A and B are shown apart, each in its own frame.
Chain A
Amino acid sequence: MLRVLFHRLLQGFVVLIVLFTITFFLCRALPGGPYVSEKEIPAHVKELMMKRDGYDQPVHKQYLMRLKNLLQGDAGLSTRLSGRPVNDVIAQSFPVSFQLGLISMFVALAVGVPSGVIASWKKNMDVDFIVMAVAMIGLCLPSFVVGPIVGELIGRKWQLLPAMGWDAFDPATWLLPMLVLGMVYAAYLARLTRTGMLDVLSQDFVRTALAKGVPMRRILIKHCLRGGLVPAAAYLGPAFAGIISGSLVIELVFQIPGLGRHFIKAIETNDVNVIMGIVLFYGGLVVLGNIISDFLILWLNPRARAQS
């Protein structure tokens, strides 16, 4: 187990270095340079700013300096937000995005996995077809279509729920964003769980258990669930990354003050420090999500454990 953890951490580190390198060079190539502002910045001020942020140094020195600062956890200052530390920006807006992501993930799991299990149990019966049809529609109705419709109808026209903003302690404000964001992943998870469960259900030990007279519900939950969940667990890593990028759209639609909005604004204004800080922060989250997903698989599947 420890060896696996070490291996995954090492791999995650490589991911972050590669991500850092790509972002670094993309940021250098941003049209208009690092200080874009509505007002013209006087030349001498700009020169001083360039000097302060180390842009007068040769490229490899800049690269190393930035890498060193980021490794020490210092992402520099934002230019758009007049010198606020990027760390502050992230610390302030991330909890909102995190809460949104976590709740949506929970919704996706709570809806997707049970419906997948039920669909596999009632395979080729009406329930199965209905669940799979709903899942398919869920996959094909992207959140940026559903989001505006739901927000406009439920939020503004019928005034049932707030369609804008976010309050960490008011579940009513969570409801719409989390449903819209979680829906697509619930659909994916339902399909994956169904396939995984069907794989297990077609194995011989299930027939044996049936022949012994074990009730179907017990077979499903005690004998099959663990193995059947492996594909869904393997999808959790990518789903994590997807929810992060999906929250970009949701935060825009529902006007939620999360990390994604800062990222989009930073990209529009060439706020290099914020861009780098947020990209690497996201990268770290995705790495973490993948590690968690890997360990879930190891926990669910003894064969994978024996191999590692």
Chain B
Amino acid sequence: MSLVIQKGTSLRADAMQRLKKNRAAVMGVYCLALIVLACLVLPFTPWLKDPNAQSLIDQNLAPCAKYWFGTDNVGRDIFSRVFYGGRISIAVAVLTTLVAATIGVTYGAISGYAGSKVDALMMRTVDVLYGMPFLIVVILFGRVLEKETAKWSNAVVDLLTADNASAAKINDVRTAVEPLVTMAPLFIAIGALSWLTISRIVRAQVLTVKKLEFVEAARSLGLSHATILFRHILPNCVGPIIIYTTLTIPGIMLFEAVLSFLGLGLKPPNSSWGVLIKEGADLMLTNPWYLFFPSLFFSLTLLSLNFIGDGLRDALDPKSSKD
């Protein structure tokens, strides 16, 4: 009789194994990594022209060797606009999601851990917020803050540049800073409204975990509630948190794009993919490629994120991967 000793695999290694087997998710990871890398690195390299530099000669050009994605009606290079816009879209989506996830996890964890009346009250609040037409409120909120944010971004640009800086330098700082500062309040608002699903999921998870023996052990050791909740219970809820955070990002990217498309989000000359799609849609007849390229990258990013989210769910959630 021979004894086969198999090396045990941890839950995490198991999940990684399952994730690697999911071809769509792996493709998603590579595709997303490429796009994100391009958007982060390319603006610092000399290959990208100034996204707002206009040209009288090179207007309405189809994709060619000099302008890979063509030019728009005032001769701006669409290739560089796509990647500058992508940088904003991705930054905004990630920051907003972080806000949403932080609020959602804390809220859901406290609600689930406290239980009884506190839980009921907190979850009723979530129910109430679920029933609101958010896009509409956010649009109104953005309009209210429009003038204020313009002032703030000017102040930040002044702060970052010396008095005697050249116009080109100031312009550089402005393209980098302005969209983020002008959009910050709006996206904090969106983040503050997008945490509902995450909080429900985390609460459900905390409810199951808090009944386990090790929590009782922690309590009998005299640990404080905060320590038990954040050191012992939450690390056991990481799976669902990662899944739903990943699945929140595409929703928020869509939200940003819809706002920009309606002309209520980012304002030109700042660009995000939403702004580019809007400008492209207006120039559909003369320059179809202006709509095509931003849409392509936008949709590819959404597709990758959704595939990764689905793959993570299949890998981390044993129940759904059973079948």
B252 at the interface (CB under 8 A from A): no
A140 at the interface (CB under 8 A from B): yes
Select A30's contact among B143, B250, B274, B299, beta carbons within 8 Å. B143
Q: Are A283 and B144 in contact (CB under 8 A)?
A: no
**Nearest Cβ in chain A — how far from B260, in angstroms?**
9
Select A282's contact among B127, B133, B258, beta carbons within 8 Å. B133
Q: Are B133 and A267 in contact (CB under 8 A)?
A: no
Summarize B's interface: helix, strand, loop or mixed: helix
Q: Are A245 and B135 in contact (CB under 8 A)?
A: yes
Supposing A11-B127, A136-B303, A140-B303 touch, asked if A26 and B141 sit within 8 A by C-beta, the answer is yes
* Residues in chain B near residue A19, CB distance under 8 A: 132-133, 137
A112 and B135 CA atoms in complex are apart in Å by 24
A21 and B290 CA atoms in complex are apart in Å by 42
Select A149's contact among B124, B146, B291, B302, beta carbons within 8 Å. B291
Number of A-B residue pairs at CB separation under 8 A: 121
A141 and B261 CA atoms in complex are apart in Å by 14
Q: Are B131 and A11 in contact (CB under 8 A)?
A: yes
Q: Are B132 and A286 in contact (CB under 8 A)?
A: yes
* Residues in chain A near residue B299, CB distance under 8 A: 140-142, 145
Q: Are B140 and A244 in contact (CB under 8 A)?
A: no
**Nearest Cβ in chain A — how far from B127, in angstroms?**
6
**Nearest Cβ in chain A — how far from B109, in angstroms?**
23
Q: Are B131 and A287 in contact (CB under 8 A)?
A: yes
Q: Are A279 and B278 in contact (CB under 8 A)?
A: no
The residue on A at minimum CB distance from B310 is A136
Q: Are A30 and B137 in contact (CB under 8 A)?
A: no
* Residues in chain A near residue B135, CB distance under 8 A: 245, 248
Q: Are A263 and B136 in contact (CB under 8 A)?
A: yes
* Residues in chain A near residue B168, CB distance under 8 A: none
Q: Are A140 and B132 in contact (CB under 8 A)?
A: no
- Contact residues of A between 277 and 308, Cβ < 8 Å to B: 278-279, 282-283, 286-287, 290
Supposing A279-B137, A286-B133 touch, asked if A145 and B295 sit within 8 A by C-beta, the answer is yes
The residue on A at minimum CB distance from B295 is A145
* Residues in chain A near residue B257, CB distance under 8 A: 142, 144
Q: Are A248 and B132 in contact (CB under 8 A)?
A: no
* Residues in chain B near residue A30, CB distance under 8 A: 143-144
- Contact residues of A between 1 and 21, Cβ < 8 Å to B: 11-12, 14-15, 18-19
Supposing A29-B144, A140-B306 touch, asked if A286 and B131 sit within 8 A by C-beta, the answer is yes
Supposing A23-B140, A144-B277, A198-B323 touch, asked if A283 and B258 sit within 8 A by C-beta, the answer is no
Q: Are A249 and B258 in contact (CB under 8 A)?
A: yes
Q: Are B133 and A136 in contact (CB under 8 A)?
A: no
- Contact residues of A between 192 and 229, Cβ < 8 Å to B: 195, 198, 202
B147 at the interface (CB under 8 A from A): yes
Q: Are A137 and B133 in contact (CB under 8 A)?
A: no
Q: Are B258 and A152 in contact (CB under 8 A)?
A: no
Q: Are A15 and B128 in contact (CB under 8 A)?
A: yes
Supposing A26-B144, A31-B146 touch, asked if A142 and B258 sit within 8 A by C-beta, the answer is yes
11 A-B pairs with CB atoms under 8 Å apart are A19-B132, A19-B133, A26-B144, A31-B147, A140-B303, A145-B295, A148-B291, A149-B291, A152-B285, A279-B133, A286-B132
Beyond contacts A140-B306, A252-B262: 14 other A-B pairs, Cβ-Cβ < 8 A, are A11-B127, A12-B131, A18-B132, A26-B140, A26-B144, A144-B261, A145-B277, A145-B298, A156-B285, A195-B320, A244-B133, A248-B258, A267-B143, A279-B133
Measured CB to CB, the residues of B under 8 A from A are: 124, 127-128, 130-137, 139-141, 143-144, 146-147, 250, 254, 257-258, 261-262, 264, 274, 277-278, 281, 284-285, 291, 295, 298-300, 302-303, 306-307, 320, 322-323
